[in-house]
Amino acid sequence: MSRIGKKPVDLPSGVTATVSGQTISVKGPKGTRSFTATDDIDLIVDGSTVSVKPRGASKRARQQWGMTRSMVANLAQGVTDGFKRELELVGVGYRAAMQGKDLKLSLGYSHEVIFEVPEGVSVSTPKPTEVVIEGSDQQLVGQVAANIREWRRPEPYKGKGIRYKDEYIFRKEGKKK
């Protein structure tokens, strides 16, 4: 039995879910999101709760059970609160600024990096050394944050680079004489 899969997903007020075949659509204040489950899973909408049940006892059905429940819970959270990742730029001269719909990063290269922000994600820079990525799709928000971080990963000696706000960088000791 999946401990995660057997818990029903409670939908907050103002959120509706509809199932057509294997596709569940969740509509809320921040838009509509949908997810298509595999054929091994049954999706049941009962008022303000969504239950996920496996169709059989096969290994694949048990594997998909908890994952599908997590995906449905993420849909519900995405259309109500949304998801948010925060990045910090650490280093002398490292700055970020919005230029129209693009993010302009000064990261110590000979040129400034222009990052095109995809649809469905909003990026803001409250401070020159902070980048906030928000959206209703958890996977897209995380992927955009990872793509921005990839331009300058934090290095272990001085800690310079782009890091997640809650990330701990293991620091190494430099050479000794």
Q: Residue 100: exposed, middle, or buried by beta-carbon count in 10 A (0-12, 13-18, 19+)?
A: exposed
CA distance 98 to 104: 6
Asked whether this chain's domains 9-80 and 83-164 adopt the same fold, the reply is yes
pLDDT value for 128: 95
**Region 39-46 average pLDDT:** 91
Q: What is the mean pLDDT of residues 91-112?
A: 93
What amino acid is encoded at 65 in this protein?
A: W
Residue 64 confidence (pLDDT) above 80: yes
Residue 73 pLDDT level (bands cut at 50, 70, 90):
very high
147: pLDDT confidence band, cut at 50, 70 and 90? very high
Across residues 100-121, what is the average pLDDT?
93
- Domain 9-80, what fold? Outer Surface Protein A; domain 3 (3.90.930)
31 near 76, Cβ under 8 Å?
A: no
CATH number of 83-164: 3.90.930.12
Distance CA 159, CA 4 (A): 37
Nearest CA among 110, 39, 23 for reference residue 72: 23
* pTM metric for this prediction: 0.87
Indicate the domain borders of the chain. 9-80, 83-164
pLDDT at 177 over 90: no
Q: Which residues, listed in sequence order, are joined to residue 19 by a DSSP beta bridge?
A: 24
* Tokens linked to 31: 């838009």
Mean pLDDT of 31-51: 91
pLDDT score of 2 more than 90: no
Residue 19, pLDDT above cutoff 80: yes
CA–CA separation, 148 vs 155, rounded Å?
15
Helices then strands, each counted (H, E), the chain: 2, 13
Say yes or no to pLDDT of 122 above 90: yes
pLDDT class of 117 with cuts at 50, 70, 90 = very high
Q: 136: Cβ–Cβ under 8 A, 6 or more apart, which residues? A: 30, 31, 33, 78, 79, 82, 83, 120
